[in-house]
Amino acid sequence: MGSDVEIELEQIRRRKMIELRKKGDSGNKDPTHPTVLTDGTLQEFVASNKLSVIDCWAAWCGPCMMLAPIIDQLAAEYSGRVAFGKLNVDENPSTSAQYGIMSIPTLLIFNNGQLVDRMVGVQPLQSLKAGLDGYLTK
């Protein structure tokens, strides 16, 4: 029975990721949700936000799907203080190569336009909050 629930949850997550990809531009005016980014929009997004977190993911990546609702929650909680973006690494190979992304999910953290940290793998919510809070108090 647990596997049926897991399968249904996975299907919901995949549909959500497809919806995010269809938005496809950095013109997301809702800061409570991550902005879908591309190779062409990432630099402008990072430059226009004091603190930004980029979730580098792929549709086939199970751990990425596990992290997605955590990122959505953080985007809502940190709205107005931290900008969150999502970058599909399969569709944006230039950015993946530029930042040496070898494993996903990878979170890239930018402060004042500069890459200051990266987190690889699924991270617990409290760890992510602690890291973000550290940058917000600087």
Please report how many Cα atoms fall inside a 13 Å half-sphere around the Cα of residue 110, on the Cβ side. 20
Please report the DSSP string for 21-84 in residue order. HHH-SS----TTSPEEE-TTTHHHHHHT-SEEEEEEE-TT-HHHHHHHHHHHHHHHHTTTT-EE
The C-alpha atoms of residue 131 and residue 53 are separated, in whole angstroms, by: 11
Q: Would you call 61 a catalytic residue per the annotation?
A: yes
First to last CA, the chain: 48
Q: Would you call 56 a catalytic residue per the annotation?
A: no
Catalytic residue from among 64, 74, 83, 101: 64
Catalytic residue from among 20, 53, 54, 61: 61
Q: What backbone phi and psi angles, to 5 degrees, belong to 115? A: -65, 120
Which residues are part of the catalytic machinery?
61, 64
